[in-house]
C-alpha cells in the first residue's frame, strides 16, 4: 500500500471526480484501494479522516450466538454461499477484505501495487504470520493458493473465472510465468491482458487461504492463520468456533471466546421466535415485514443499500420432455415482458430496495450504464410466446421455500398467468433446492453483491462458467466482457457495459427485478455486527461492548 504523496495517478483523478460530483465516495474508495492506496490515504485524498472502528471498544471474552443457516462445507474455492465462509473465516483468512465503506483492506497481504495498465500486480505478503500448526506463512503459500484458484478442471471452482487473466486456456491451469515468487514476502502476477478485478476477486468469499497440505475438507484439515478453531459442526443445526489458545494470531481483535452459529431454518417467523426467546444475540438478515417486528425488540439495526438481488432465470440448455423450451429467445423475452418489476419489489420484498432492469448491473456499480426502461407488455408477451409455438406450454417455476424468494416467485407466476401464459409453482426446501440450483429449467436464485459490475457478468453470464446457471453462451457478449475487464477507467468501461447490459436484455437472459436493501438486527451491546453489503461476518471484529 502507499502513502498519499505516492498514490497511483488514477487515484488522484478519481478524487477529482468526487470533488466534481461525478463519482460517489463509495465508488472512489473501491477504485482507489484496489489500486493499492491505503484506506487512510484514500480518505486523506478527499480531505477526510478515516472513521474509527467500533470494534476497538469491545471487551475480551464471552460467547456470541448468531442465527445463520449452517450449510455443509467443502473446498472453499467451490463455496457458493457466504454462510460457508462466515464460519471458516474464524481460521481460514483472506488476502484482502472488502469493507462496509467499499474499500479493500489488507489482510494476509500487507500491501500491493498495480501498474498503470493493470497487467502486473506486485503482492507484498504480511510478515510475521504463522499457520496454527507453527509453519510460517510465506509468498509460497500465496502462490500456491492463486495457482489452485486457476484450476478450471475442478468442478464448481468459481475462482477460476476470477483468475482468467492468469489462466492458460489450453491447459486450464495457471499460465507459465503468470505467478512468480520473488522472495519470501513478494509475489508478482503477470497478466496476459489487463484485469482490474483481481483484488476484488481476492476478497470474494470463495477466496479463503488454505495450507499447502489442504485435503479439500476444511473441517478435517483445519490448518489456518486465523484466531479460532472449529469445535462443533452439525449441518442444519449449529456450528461452533472457539478461540485457539495455542496460536499467536497476527491481527487485532478476536475478542470472543466462543462463536455459535445456530440454524433456525429459512422462515423468518422461526427466527423471530428465537430472538423473542433470547436464543440468539444477532441475526444473519432481517427481511420484509419482520423488520418492523424485529425493531420492537429494541435491538440495534443496520442497513446496507446493495447490489444484492434475485434473478428469475431460464436455463437455455435444460430439456423438458425432450425439448429445450428456453433455447428460443422469444420465449425468454416473453417471460420478462409479462412481469412488472415494480410489483415484484413490492410483493416480493416489501419495497425494501430499488427496481432493477433485467441486466444484473446496479446503479451502485461504478460502470453502470443507464438504459431505456424495461418494457412491461403482457399482450405482446403472450403473442411472442404464441409466435415461438409455446403458447400452451406449462412453465414450472421453481423456488426455495423461504420468505422473500418464494414471495417474489409467487408474484411473477401470478403475472405470467394473468398474461395468459400457463405456469405451475414448485416450492422446495432449501436442503433440496440447493443440490441442483444451477440446473433447474426455470427457477429463482439470489446473488450477492460484487464491488464491480464486470465481476458479476464474468461469474454469472460468461460462457461455460460454473455459476452460469442460465447456460447463456454468446460469443459477442464474451468478447465485449473481455474488453471491459481490461478497461481500468470505469467511465470508459461504461460504454462497453451499455452494450453488455443491452445484450442481456435483448436475449431475455434473466428477469432481474430489484436491488435489495438488506438489514441486520443485533443486541445493543454487540459490536462489529453491522450488516455487510455482501453478508460477510468478520468474526475477529465481533465482541461485546466494553
pLDDT on residue 23? 72
Q: Is the confidence at residue 410, as pLDDT, over 60?
A: yes
Is residue 182 assigned to a domain? no
Is residue 241 assigned to a domain? no
CA distances from 61 to 64, 65, 278, 282, 542 (A): 10, 13, 19, 17, 11
Count of other CB atoms within 10 angstroms of residue 274: 17
Domain boundary among 36, 51, 66: 51
pLDDT on residue 42? 81
Residue 246 is placed in which grid cell?
Answer: 495455542
Helices (H), 35-89: 39-45, 82-88
Q: What is the tens place of the pLDDT at every residue in 238-249?
A: 999 999 999 999
Question: What CA–CA distance (Å, rounded) separates 468 from 456?
Answer: 10
Is residue 268 assigned to a domain? no
Confirm if 248 and 130 have CB atoms less than 8 A apart: yes
The domain tally of the chain equals 2
Mean pLDDT of 201-223: 96
Residues 6 or more apart in contact with residue 103 via CB below 8 angstroms: 29, 30, 32, 33, 39, 42
Is residue 327 assigned to a domain? yes
Is residue 261 assigned to a domain? no
Is residue 255 assigned to a domain? no
Q: Is the confidence at residue 292, as pLDDT, over 80?
A: yes
Q: What is the tens place of the pLDDT at every residue in 16-42?
A: 777 777 677 777 788 788 878 888 888
Could you tell me the maximum CA-CA distance found in the chain, to the nearest angstrom?
Answer: 69
Cα-trace Rg, the chain? 23
Confirm if 155 and 438 have CB atoms less than 8 A apart: no
pLDDT-based confidence at residue 54 (cuts at 50, 70, 90): low
Up-side HSE of residue 337: CA atoms within 13 Å toward CB?
Answer: 22
pLDDT-based confidence at residue 402 (cuts at 50, 70, 90): confident
Mean pLDDT of 301-314: 92
Of the two residues 439 and 488, the one the predictor is more confident about is 439
Determine which of 38-47, 99-108, 242-251, 426-435 has the lowest per-residue pLDDT on average. 38-47
Count of other CB atoms within 10 angstroms of residue 118: 23
DSSP E strand boundaries for 126-227 = 167-168, 173-174, 179-183, 186-190
Q: What percent of the chain has pLDDT over 90?
A: 75
pLDDT-based confidence at residue 1 (cuts at 50, 70, 90): very low
Sign of the alpha-carbon torsion through 323, 329, 334, 335: positive
Question: What CA–CA distance (Å, rounded) separates 277 from 293?
Answer: 14
Residue 497 is placed in which grid cell?
Answer: 457495459
Residue 118 is placed in which grid cell?
Answer: 493493470
Sign of the alpha-carbon torsion through 361, 364, 368, 372: positive
Is residue 174 assigned to a domain? no
pLDDT on residue 134? 97
- Residue 375, helix vs strand vs coil: coil
Q: What is the tens place of the pLDDT at every residue in 454-504?
A: 999 999 999 999 899 999 999 999 999 999 988 878 888 999 999 999 999
Residues 6 or more apart in contact with residue 490 via CB below 8 angstroms: 27, 31, 366, 367
Up-side HSE of residue 435: CA atoms within 13 Å toward CB?
Answer: 4
Helices (H), 104-167: 139-149, 159-162
Taking the model in full, what pTM does it have?
0.82
Mean pLDDT of 91-113: 94
**Where do we find the cell 415485514?**
289
Residues 6 or more apart in contact with residue 386 via CB below 8 angstroms: none
Cα angle vertex 115, ends 201, 457, to 5°?
30
Mean pLDDT of 253-257: 96
Q: Is the confidence at residue 57, as pLDDT, over 80?
A: no
Residue 403 is placed in which grid cell?
Answer: 420468505
Is residue 177 assigned to a domain? no
Mean pLDDT of 374-396: 97
Sign of the alpha-carbon torsion through 483, 484, 488, 494: positive
Determine which of 158-167, 433-442, 535-544 has the lowest per-residue pLDDT on average. 433-442
pLDDT on residue 89? 98
pLDDT-based confidence at residue 6 (cuts at 50, 70, 90): low
Confirm if 349 and 410 have CB atoms less than 8 A apart: no
pLDDT on residue 70? 96
- What is the per-residue DSSP string for 426-474? EEE-HHHHGGGTTT-SEEEEEE---SSHHHHHHHHTSTT-TT-TT----
Q: Is the confidence at residue 4, as pLDDT, over 70?
A: no
**Domain range for 26:** 1-51
Determine which of 2-6, 89-93, 141-145 has the lowest per-residue pLDDT on average. 2-6
Q: What percent of the chain has pLDDT over 70?
A: 97
CATH of the domain at 319: 3.10.105.10
Question: What CA–CA distance (Å, rounded) separates 112 from 182?
Answer: 14
Q: What is the tens place of the pLDDT at every residue in 325-350?
A: 999 999 999 999 999 999 999 999 98
Residues 6 or more apart in contact with residue 399 via CB below 8 angstroms: 405, 406, 408, 409, 425, 426, 427, 428, 433, 443, 444
Residue 316 is placed in which grid cell?
Answer: 437455455
Chain mean pLDDT for the chain = 92
Amino acid at each position: 500500500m502507499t502513502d498519499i504523496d505516492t498514490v497511483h495517478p488514477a487515484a488522484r483523478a478519481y478524487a477529482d471526480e468526487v470533488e466534481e460530483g461525478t463519482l460517489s465516495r463509495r465508488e472512489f474508495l473501491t477504485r482507489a484501494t484496489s489500486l493499492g492506496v491505503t484506506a487512510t490515504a484514500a480518505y486523506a485524498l478527499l480531505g477526510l479522516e478515516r472513521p474509527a472502528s467500533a470494534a476497538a471498544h469491545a471487551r475480551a471474552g464471552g460467547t456470541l450466538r448468531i442465527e445463520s443457516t449452517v450449510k455443509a462445507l467443502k473446498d472453499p474455492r467451490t463455496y457458493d454461499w457466504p454462510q460457508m465462509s462466515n464460519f471458516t473465516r474464524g481460521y481460514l483468512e483472506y488476502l484482502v477484505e472488502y469493507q462496509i465503506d467499499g474499500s479493500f483492506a489488507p489482510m494476509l497481504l500487507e500491501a500491493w501495487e498495480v501498474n498503470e495498465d493493470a497487467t502486473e500486480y506486485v503482492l507484498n505478503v504480511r510478515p510475521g504470520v504463522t499457520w496454527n500448526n507453527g509453519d510460517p506463512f510465506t509468498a509460497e503459500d500465496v502462490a500456491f493458493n492463486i495457482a489452485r484458484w486457476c484450476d478450471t478442471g475442478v468442478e464448481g471452482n468459481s475462482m477460476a473465472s476470477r483468475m482468467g487473466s492468469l489462466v492458460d486456456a489450453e491447459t486450464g491451469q495457471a499460465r507459465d510465468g503468470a505467478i512468480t515468487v520473488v522472495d519470501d514476502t513478494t509475489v508478482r502476477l503477470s497478466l496476459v491482458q489487463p484485469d482490474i478485478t483481481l483484488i476484488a476477486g481476492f476478497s470474494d468469499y470463495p477466496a479463503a487461504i488454505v495450507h499447502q497440505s489442504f485435503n479439500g475438507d476444511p473441517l478435517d484439515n483445519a490448518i489456518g492463520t486465523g484466531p479460532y478453531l472449529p469445535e462443533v459442526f452439525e449441518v442444519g443445526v449449529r456450528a461452533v468456533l472457539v478461540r485457539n489458545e495455542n496460536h499467536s494470531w497476527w491481527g487485532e481483535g478476536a475478542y470472543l471466546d466462543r462463536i455459535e452459529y445456530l440454524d433456525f431454518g429459512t422462515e423468518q417467523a422461526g427466527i423471530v421466535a428465537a430472538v423473542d426467546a433470547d436464543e440468539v444475540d444477532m441475526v444473519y438478515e432481517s427481511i420484509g415485514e419482520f423488520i418492523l417486528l424485529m425493531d420492537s425488540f429494541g435491538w440495534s439495526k443496520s442497513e446496507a443499500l446493495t447490489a444484492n438481488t434475485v434473478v428469475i432465470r431460464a436455463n437455455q440448455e435444460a430439456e423438458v420432455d425432450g425439448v429445450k423450451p428456453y433455447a428460443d429467445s422469444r420465449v425468454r423475452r416473453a417471460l420478462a415482458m409479462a412481469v412488472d418489476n415494480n410489483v415484484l419489489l413490492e410483493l416480493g420484498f416489501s419495497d425494501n430496495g430499488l427496481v432493477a432492469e433485467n441486466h444484473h448491473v446496479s446503479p451502485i456499480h461504478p460502470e453502470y450504464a443507464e438504459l431505456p426502461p424495461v418494457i412491461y407488455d403482457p399482450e405482446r408477451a403472450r403473442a411472442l410466446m404464441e409466435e415461438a409455438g409455446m403458447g400452451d406450454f406449462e412453465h414450472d417455476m421453481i423456488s426455495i421455500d423461504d420468505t422473500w424468494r418464494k414471495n417474489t416467485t409467487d408474484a411473477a407466476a401470478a403475472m405470467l398467468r394473468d398474461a395468459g401464459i400457463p405456469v405451475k409453482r414448485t416450492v422446495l426446501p432449501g436442503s433440496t433446492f440447493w443440490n441442483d440450483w444451477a440446473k433447474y429449467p426455470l427457477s429463482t436464485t439470489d446473488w450477492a453483491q460484487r464491488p464491480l459490475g464486470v465481476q458479476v457478468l464474468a461469474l454469472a453470464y460468461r460462457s461455460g462458467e460454473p455459476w452460469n446457471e442460465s447456460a447463456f453462451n454468446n460469443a459477442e457478449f464474451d468478447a465485449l466482457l473481455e474488453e471491459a475487464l481490461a478497461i481500468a477507467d470505469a467511465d470508459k468501461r461504461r460504454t462497453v457495459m451499455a452494450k453488455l447490459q443491452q445484450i442481456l436484455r435483448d436475449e431475455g437472459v434473466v428477469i432481474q427485478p430489484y436491488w435489495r436493501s438488506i438489514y441486520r438486527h443485533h443486541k445493543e451491546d454487540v459490536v462489529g455486527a453491522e450488516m455487510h453489503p455482501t453478508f460477510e461476518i468478520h468474526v475477529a471484529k465481533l465482541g461485546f461492548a466494553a
